[in-house]
Structure 1
Amino acid sequence: MEFLRLHLDHLILGVLGLMSFVMLALAVERYLYFWRVNLKQFQHIELLKLALTRNLTTISSVGSNAPYIGLLGTVLGILVTFHDMGQGGKIDVNTIMLGLAMALKATAAGLLVAIPAIVFYNGLLRKVEVLTSRWTALQDGQT
């Protein structure tokens, strides 16, 4: 329990930070790819879709799982606080409230990672639809 008390914040925020970094790097890579993609080089729409949707699953996974990582941090933080309360001794209300507030910051951090990830994912998915439609129009002889 002492390990959790000392390292919980670093572990949870570290995992969320890593998830955020990976998501942001992949989102930037996708936007740059979409900006310079040559639709004429694709002979089949399925090959185009494969190229356009690369890494979108990872971005979506970060968006859907970051709140759970934050919630795990909150639950473990509350568990540590309740454990400290159950040990007896002198524990004042301020110490308990501080422990609970510190636990809830993990949920907030999870949401701060998830919300931009879902925004990026939805924006990238829309761009995939637009590029796919442009490819179809090129195939039909329209520009």
Structure 2
Amino acid sequence: MDIELLKNLVDYGVIGLLGLMSFIALWFWVERVLFYKTLDISKYNTKEALEIDVTNNINIISTFGSNAPYIGLLGTVFGIIITFYVMGQSGDLDAKMIMTSLALALKATAMGLLVAIPSIIFYNHLSRRIEVILAKWDIYQKEKLAN
């Protein structure tokens, strides 16, 4: 396999996957926020049914937040392997080429962090909203029983 093709596959594959993960995490966060705004807790007879509805899709956001750095790191490792392979094949130890290649390999790790940080923020925001919704349901049930 051509090394340039492999390099492009690693670059575009990892960056593309991380971009897709970022879009999906943002999509699910927006979907959940909009769902919570229209949620009517009085329509739920059991807390479990409410909990099932309010926690839908947040595990995806958490998974992306926790795994994006590893995907980015994998891209960086592949980039470094390709850099060393090219250096070994060419026999050229040009410092400029080495530093440029290694710097470009690190972009995958940076992208992984750019996906992970907002995803974890989204997840934590939704987790707190879920806690509040479930507490409001408990309060609603107590008030319903008191009346």
Structure-2 residue corresponding to 1:135: 137
Instruction: Give the match for residue 55 of structure 1.
Output: 57
String of CA shifts for 1:99-129, please: whole Å, max 9, x gaps.
1000111000000000000000001000000
> In structure 2, what is the equivalent of residue 11 of structure 1?
13
Deviation per CA, 1:51-74: give whole Å up to 9, x if none: 000000101011011001100100
Could you say which residue in structure 2 is the equivalent of 1:126? Answer: 128
Q: Which runs of 5+ in 1 are unaligned?
A: none
Aligned 1:1-143 pairs, distance under 5 A: 1-141=3-143
Runs of 4+ in 1 over 2 A off after TM superposition: 88-91
Number of equivalenced pairs: 142
* Cα distance in structure 2, aligned partners of 1:88 and 1:48: 62
**Take 1:88 and 1:131, find their aligned partners in 2: how far apart are those partners?**
62
* SS of residue paired to 1:87: helix
**TM-score, with normalisation over the residues of structure 1?**
0.95
Bigger mean CA deviation after superposition, 89-98 or 110-119: 89-98
Identity of matched residues, %? 49
Cα RMSD for the two superposed structures: 1.1
* 2-structure distance, mates of 1:5, 1:39: 52
SS in 1 for 2:90: coil
Which runs of no fewer than 5 residues in structure 2 stay unpaired?
none
User: Which amino acid counterpart does residue 53 of structure 1 have in structure 2?
Assistant: T
Displacement after TM superposition at 1:2 (Å): 3.3
TM-score by length of 2: 0.93
Which string of whole-angstrom CA distances, capped at 9 and with x for unpartnered residues, describes residues 81-105 of structure 1?
A: 0101111333411001011000111
Query: Structure 1 counterpart of 2:110, which letter?
Result: A
What secondary structure, in the 3-state scheme, does the structure 2 residue paired with 1:54 have? coil
